[in-house]
Amino acid sequence: MRAAAAHARKLPRFDTLREAELVLFAARDEALRALEVAKTGWAFRPDYTPESLKLLEFEFLRLHELGYVGAPLSKDVLERAMAMYFGELLVRRAGFAWVVEEFAFDAGAYELGVTRGNLAVMLSSFDDLPTRPNNKRRQSMWRAYQQYAS
C-alpha cells in the first residue's frame, strides 16, 4: 500500500473523468509533438517503428550519461515524451487504444495508458530507464514493446 500511495502522489488530480481525459490527452499530444520537432542534438527520428525504440533509448541513456548537456528537450519532458511515444507505437502497431483511468487506490488521481483486451499499460514517464537492471544492450523499451505487442 505504501508503493501505491507513493505512486498516487505523483499522479494528476481531477474532479471528473472527462476533465482528466481532456487534460491528459492534450498533454500526450503535446509530448509527441515535442519529440517530433526535437531534431538537434541526437540521431533519433520518430518513425513509429518498433526498431526506433532502440535508438530512442540509446540516445536517452547517452544524454543521461552526459548530464543532459545538448539534450533536445528537458529531462522531464523527454521522459514523458518517451512514454507517450511507446504508447503511441502500441496503438499504431499492436491494436491498443488510449485510455484514461482513475487510479484504483486513490479517488481523483488519474493515469493515462493504453489498453487491449484485458491488458492495460499505464504510462507516465520512463524516469527509471537509467537504473533498470540487466539493460546492458539498452533495449528495455524495445523488449517491453515485443512483450506487449505479441
Per-residue pLDDT tens for 71-89? 888 889 999 999 999 999 9
Beta-carbon count within 10 A of 55 CB: 19
Per-residue pLDDT tens for 22-70? 999 999 999 999 998 886 667 788 999 999 999 999 888 888 888 888 8
In which element (H, E) is residue 11 found?
Answer: none
Q: What is the mean pLDDT of residues 105-113?
A: 95
Judge whether 83 and 126 are in contact, CB under 8 Å: yes
